[in-house]
Amino acid sequence: MVKNSTCIKGGRIILENEVLIGKVLIFNGKIVDILDEEIFKNMPSTQEMKIINANEKYVSPGFTKELRIKR
């Protein structure tokens, strides 16, 4: 599953009832899992995976573009 996969790491993941710190695993353009650090470290190979560092930004399923408020 690693080829064609993307991992968004370092962000706050917004879910329906909670906010998590973890990694979002995307395969063929669809979210397939939310991983903690232990599971991610034990994955067979992440070398072919695209890694996006969210740098403590918010990550949420369904957000498709950045929203800007004009003031």
Query: Domains of the chain by range and CATH?
Result: 5-58 (2.30.40.10)
Number of other residues whose CB lies within 10 A of the CB of residue 6: 15
| Model pLDDT for residues 45-63, shown as the tens digit of each residue | 666 788 899 988 998 877 5
pTM given for the model: 0.71
Model confidence over 17-36: pLDDT tens digits?
888 888 888 888 888 888 87
Q: What pLDDT does 46 receive?
A: 63
> Is the pLDDT reported for residue 2 higher than 60?
yes
